[in-house]
Amino acid sequence: MYPDRVVSGMRPTGALHLGHYHGALKNWVKLQSELPCLFFVADWHALTTHYDDPSVIETSTWEMVIDWLAAGVDPSQSTLFIQSRVPEHAELHLLLSMATPLGWLERVPTYKDQQEKLADRDLATYGFLGYPLLQAADVLIYRASQVPVGEDQIPHIEMMREISRRFNHLYGKEKGFEEKAREAVKKLGSKRSKLYQELRTQFQEQGNEEALEQAKAMLDDAQNLSMIDRERLFGYLEGSRKLILTEPQALLTEASRLPGLDGAKMSKSYGNAIALREDKDSVTKKVRTMPTDPQRVRRTDPGDPGKCPVWQFHRVYSDDAVRQWVDKGCRSAGIGCLECKQPVIDAILAEQQPMLERAQQYIDDPSLVRAIIADGCDTARKLAQDTMRDVREAMGLGY
């Protein structure tokens, strides 16, 4: 019914590292050439945990946008913006909050987890409890169909689907809906309207999801329908409501295959990260001092790549030939660890070279970055305002 659209955000809490690149950004770069994409800096989300120390947010915001551009996110293909510059997100968050049961928010696993993990911060706040609801607003306001996220975010996506369904249920009532929907069915033409009815019955009586999908696909193809009739027919398939908001799907991004220098998850706070735009000497030094198989104490001791974090890097950065060379050389003590690390160093530097080049123009002229964001905010805001018009109308605020 609504066009396919991808929305995702990242909190600006520090410079991005290669874990972010292999975990998320590479995927964004791929997606932008396939579907319309909106990528935004979730600065309000950063405030939910850093409300007492907001100074990092501003610098991190601009650094992060440069990191995105460096990684190849292309403002001519995707829309880049800052959440707080599209205040409609806050309006939708507020309106959604009216009908969101507290239990839904308290039940989200990240709520308790993060409070325990970040025990040094007081996260018993209203804003933090509302984190996933603000995230729901971020996505629903663009009627996004797909949201690329990591596994930890799946419960948030599940919740936004429930929020969307609840919204449509509460506010999607339309006077004479059933009648209007039946009129719209007729407009499909006799063959298709018969099929539509059959598929609708199969879904409603037997919960046949395939029938639902097939009916949706048919509606997608029905050229002669007006937007509003199409919307009604989508709503009529599942019940007797108009679909004002859509149900987005998670596009699960595989966990970053690149661990930190010590083999644990790469994270700035663990001190095991390589920044996206780290300088050459520092990359070289970090990899050269990386821990290896602890059993391999002397050069003459054979090692086991399975027990070595350097091997994980080879799995991301090296081809088969190099990996065979490592495996054989390590197990037979034929190569030394520094020797083994050199191809990794070379590959990281080669990966970073184009990123450093792309970043340079933006470092030299920050006004370019501001302009990209200003454009993106305009584009995003128009889309957000379209949805908000429908939302206000549905909630009886259309004065």
* Interface positions with ligand SF4 (CB under 6 A): 292-293, 296, 303, 305, 308, 310-311, 326, 330, 335, 337, 340-341
Phi, psi angles (nearest 5°) of residue 17: -125, 180
How far apart are CB 134 and ligand TRP at their closest, in Å? 7
> How far apart, in whole angstroms, are the C-alpha atoms of residue 118 and residue 114?
6
How far apart are CB 335 and ligand SF4 at their closest, in Å? 6
79 binds ligand TRP (CB under 6 A): no
For residue 7, the partner it binds in ligand SF4, ligand TRP, none, with Cβ less than 5 to 8 A by kind, is ligand TRP
Q: For residues 107 and 194, which CB has a smaller minimum distance to ligand TRP in the complex?
A: 107
Q: For residues 253 and 272, which CB has a smaller minimum distance to ligand SF4 in the complex?
A: 272
Non-local (6+) Cβ contacts of 258 within 8 A are: 18, 19, 21, 22, 23, 266, 312, 313, 316
**Quick one: which of 150, 165, 140 has its CA closest to 7?**
140
42 binds ligand TRP (CB under 6 A): yes
Q: For residues 117 and 257, which CB has a smaller minimum distance to ligand SF4 in the complex?
A: 257
How far apart are CB 306 and ligand SF4 at their closest, in Å? 9
Three-state DSSP class for 58?
helix
9 binds ligand TRP (CB under 6 A): yes
49 binds ligand TRP (CB under 6 A): no
Q: Which helix (H) or strand (E) holds 280?
A: helix 280-288
Residues in 124-183 that interact with ligand TRP by CB under 6 A: 135, 138-139, 147, 149, 153
For residue 11, the partner it binds in ligand SF4, ligand TRP, none, with Cβ less than 5 to 8 A by kind, is ligand TRP
Among 5, 20, 22, 45, binds ligand TRP (CB under 6 A): 45
Which residue's beta carbon is nearest to the bound ligand TRP?
9
DSSP track, 159-198: HHHHHHHHHHHHH---TTHHHHHHHHHHTT-HHHHHHHHH
For residue 135, the partner it binds in ligand TRP, ligand SF4, none, with Cβ less than 5 to 8 A by kind, is ligand TRP
Q: Cα dist. 14→33, 44, 139 in Å?
A: 27, 15, 23
How far apart are CB 187 and ligand TRP at their closest, in Å? 36
Q: Which residues pair with 251 in a beta bridge?
A: 148
For residue 303, the partner it binds in ligand TRP, ligand SF4, none, with Cβ less than 5 to 8 A by kind, is ligand SF4
> How far apart, in whole angstroms, are the C-alpha atoms of residue 103 and residue 64?
34
What per-residue string of b and e applies to 231-244 under the rule 16 or more CB within 10 Å gives b? Answer: bbbbbbbbeebbbb
Tokens of 330: 């390590």
For residue 222, the partner it binds in ligand SF4, ligand TRP, none, with Cβ less than 5 to 8 A by kind, is none
How far apart are CB 330 and ligand TRP at their closest, in Å? 36
Q: Cα dist. 352→71, 269, 274, 279, 341 in Å?
A: 9, 22, 11, 9, 17
How far apart are CB 110 and ligand TRP at their closest, in Å? 8
From 4-12, 218-226, 319-327, 362-370, span contacting ligand TRP (CB under 6 A) = 4-12
Q: For residues 349 and 395, which CB has a smaller minimum distance to ligand SF4 in the complex?
A: 349
**Quick one: which of 27, 380, 388, 10 has its CA closest to 372?**
380
Helices (H) and strands (E) in the chain, counts: 19, 5
> How far apart, in whole angstroms, are the C-alpha atoms of residue 249 and residue 153?
12
For residue 64, the partner it binds in ligand SF4, ligand TRP, none, with Cβ less than 5 to 8 A by kind, is none
How far apart are CB 152 and ligand TRP at their closest, in Å? 8
List residues near ligand TRP by CB under 6 A.
Answer: 7-11, 42, 45, 135, 138-139, 147, 149, 153
